[in-house]
Amino acid sequence: MNCRYNIQPQLRINQTPSKPEKQKEHLILLWSRPFGEEFPLNQCPVSSYGDPCIFTDNRSFYHLADAVVIHHREVSSSKLLLPPSPRPEKQYWVWFNLESPSNCPNLNMMNRIINLTMTYRADSDIFTPYGWIERHDGTKLFSIPAKSKLVAWVVSNWNPNYERSKYYEDLKHHIDIDVYGRQHMPLPKANQSFILSKYKFYLAFENSRDTDYITEKLWNNAFLSASVPIVMGPSRENYERFIPQDSFIHVDDFSDAQQLAAYILELDKNNEKYQSYFRWRNVFNPKIPNDWSTFYCKMCKAFKGAPSYRIISNLEKWFTTSLSSK
């Protein structure tokens, strides 16, 4: 995987490549930017990643790229949206996806063409979670923001058939829940953390229960806002692979929504017990990617130690099969 090219950062698709010069960096092409979002390329710190990769979204460099990162959402509707074949010899195609299997149409289209996986699943070639925890020096104790409200939920993708929607409909009969998002109360992005920090609890309900699928609902909406997350997603055991067991409440710990509501009300009256859900913050800090560059920098580091060139024969089966059933 030797890259031999020197190009200017962030070359655009309508520019013509200049004659490449020999270099030791890897040339990595972003076939499309996730959701069309703009963000700076070539920002990976040399101290952390060694000689940085050279990133470009200029498709004119396709035949020179050592790797092409394919974000699933932008190509999923048709094979015609994929990079052209035949591909350059030994060029790596990297499948990048942060959505759950149920939100990834046409997964079978990726069979027998992908070389490396880059997802939130811990068994990916390049592990790109929505967040993680890091130990800090412990010199400053965590301070819980003042709380004046009980439970909040932010939901924009409202679907009455989702398990989380049905559970909410039951839970709201037993406790008050403030709901934000599309079709509900507005929540300005700039004030989101401040508003949610007023709540003691946050419903971090995922839209599906899939292996390692733990999203911004926990990391940004709950942990960043310092509200205790009440989670619905993969199993408690799965969550505990990534976060402390006393940092969250899992709906599966209760026989029904009424029992969960009773426990929430108990914690609301018992301040010492409630505060116990924040003790882990005196040892760890949640870390959340600032933008897409964080993921691509991880890809750069992992790519330099990537496994020998191989084709993933059945990506669909791998991604839709839970670790517990393997």
Question: Which amino acids are annotated catalytic?
Answer: 99
Question: How many Cβ atoms are within 10 Å of 100's Cβ, its own excluded?
Answer: 20
Pairing of strands 249-250, 228-232: parallel
Alpha-carbon gap, residue 232 to 59, rounded angstroms: 40
Which residues make Cβ contacts (< 8 Å) with residue 326, sequence separation at least 6? none
Alpha-carbon gap, residue 2 to 108, rounded angstroms: 30
Indicate the SS3 state at residue 228.
strand
Reference 167, options 264, 267, 252; nearest CA is: 252
Q: Are 319 and 104 within 8 A, CB to CB?
A: yes
Q: How far is CA 265 from CA 201, 227, 274, 302, in A?
A: 11, 15, 10, 46
Alpha-carbon gap, residue 89 to 87, rounded angstroms: 6
Q: Are 196 and 229 within 8 A, CB to CB?
A: no
Alpha-carbon gap, residue 203 to 181, rounded angstroms: 13
Alpha-carbon gap, residue 144 to 56, rounded angstroms: 43
Q: Do you find a cis peptide bond into 86, omega within 30 degrees of 0?
A: yes
Indicate the SS3 state at residue 225.
coil
Token pair of 151 as six digits: 């439970």
